[in-house]
Structure 1
């Protein structure tokens, strides 16, 4: 990062150590000091997010929003249609800033904040007991939120997907935990004589918890996605960095397709590709379609056609493209 450029996440390059230079959070952000940012844990696979990250091209608005969230230690709320890159952006950030595999939490109407922090298999422990008292920590597993809170040397990346599917109280309850960076596990707090226990997270990594309380040392990089299907309460919104992602323009669509398929698109196929982009843009004005539908159509009926003896009749091309262009909602979906 140059002296003139405030941005830590650049959205274009290879992994770098710019996160190490992130300044302290605003003085009102936390009541206690956070640990200094250090190197990634040795057992984290830093290349895990690469498959999604390398071909994704974030917009300038996305880059600004990510850096704002990093500096302020606030979660990033992304709203937009399916296929606009909401859940892919975090992979780009995790890869570039060496945050390791993205922790993913898909939200539903039955999701609870406690379930995102940890799961306790009380029934399994009871059935295994048979007159003995099995160690409670063997039946506890940290969820994605819990694993993100327990990062020590470097932040983890946490994707909370489709948060608008949650119930009414979920959003504020979630932000309270993220704001405090702490969470009590009563099942461990009852172990008065054993102040330090080791449990596993969902990926099998061991985590040590002291006195039954998760205390975050690093604010996780949190991305929450929404399809815009509901309104959120004002206390929740004011504690997020918010960005509405507009559908990509023709130039942006062309760049996305080349990023994924450049080696397959010869000069003689570019005119056909452009025609499909124009048709997609027309369809998008009338119905709900996503960018990955266009990618699928171009990959299968343009890039793969006439490769390795694969050929399509005109009728087959029309049928495949029609099937792939079906609206995502409405009577014709």
Structure 2
């Protein structure tokens, strides 16, 4: 019988990440230069996992915003619920406080958490909870990590619209005229922006970022990542599991080596972990008759899949 998995495969809880030395240096350079870190790489290469891992490792506040085609730059700074405000005004609920309708975005919380709690002084600070508390239950430590995920999904104007707030660490809430500036006690934020390179980013935006590309997986790194995850999940590492880890790593590298022929897409580290968890849960080994099907379901996916 398959053993139930009690966690999500992409939980972003920051517990497990195999941080290569060159990526660690890229983070240090971004912090020293006070610039965002733009991470590129294949889908499933672990770009989105870097930010929560680093935040947990350093005990920092953590925020994230996943970009979609409808995301606007102001969504990362603030949103204003004009529909609710109009409804309250029509209901004659007395004098309205615009602060009740302002929702700080991830960059506001990261740069100026005290201002975000009070909506720039429009409300009592105690009325609003820092969303980072869902991740780190610490008393507002200095410094924050912000993940802006998949910026290449956005309209091309979005990166350019973020140039000033990312560079100056200040902006004005247009709906209320409230100025927001980075608070001294907040500490310098680490802003990590990911891209799958589905769309070119403006040169002016790239100039203001420290850039790093995550390399494709290697056999050795896949084995290391698998061991880290299994230890975190408190699974044993008997010889059969160790053999399975290596066999799947070899299989993924074989698929990647032949994917350039155009018949298959490049499988990622995330898909390798999917295959490993499925094998462990279902008792599938390389000599199992189900192995070829599992390979095609998780690793050797057709290049046109999903089109």
**What TM-score range do you get, normalising by the shorter chain?**
0.7 to 0.9
> What displacement does 1:231 show?
2.0
Partner of 2:179: 213
Residue 236 of structure 1 pairs with residue 205 of structure 2: yes
- CA distance in 2 between partners of 1:297 and 1:63 (Å): 28
Residue 248 of structure 1 pairs with residue 236 of structure 2: no
Q: Contact 1:280/1:294 (CA < 8 Å) preserved in 2?
A: yes
Residue 225 of structure 1 pairs with residue 190 of structure 2: no
Residue 106 of structure 1 pairs with residue 75 of structure 2: no
Q: Contact 1:181/1:219 (CA < 8 Å) preserved in 2?
A: no
Q: Contact 2:15/2:53 (CA < 8 Å) preserved in 1?
A: yes
Aligned positions, number: 256
From the superposition, tell whether residues 332 and 96 of structure 1 become closer, same or farther in structure 2 (CA, over 3 Å). closer
Q: Contact 1:80/1:226 (CA < 8 Å) preserved in 2?
A: yes
Partner of 1:319: 293
TM-score w.r.t. the length of structure 1 is 0.71
> What displacement does 1:291 show?
1.0
- CA distance in 2 between partners of 1:141 and 1:250 (Å): 45
Partner of 1:159: 147
Q: Contact 1:261/1:299 (CA < 8 Å) preserved in 2?
A: no
Q: Contact 2:16/2:53 (CA < 8 Å) preserved in 1?
A: no
Partner of 1:297: 275
> What displacement does 1:143 show?
1.4
TM-score w.r.t. the length of structure 2 is 0.76
**RMSD (Å), alpha carbons:** 2.4
Q: Contact 1:52/1:91 (CA < 8 Å) preserved in 2?
A: yes
From the superposition, tell whether residues 118 and 51 of structure 1 become closer, same or farther in structure 2 (CA, over 3 Å). closer
Q: Contact 2:46/2:270 (CA < 8 Å) preserved in 1?
A: no
Larger RCO (CA under 8 A, 6+ residues apart): 2
Q: Contact 1:164/1:229 (CA < 8 Å) preserved in 2?
A: yes
Partner of 1:28: none
Structure 1 unpaired stretches of 5+: 1-49, 190-211
Partner of 1:192: none
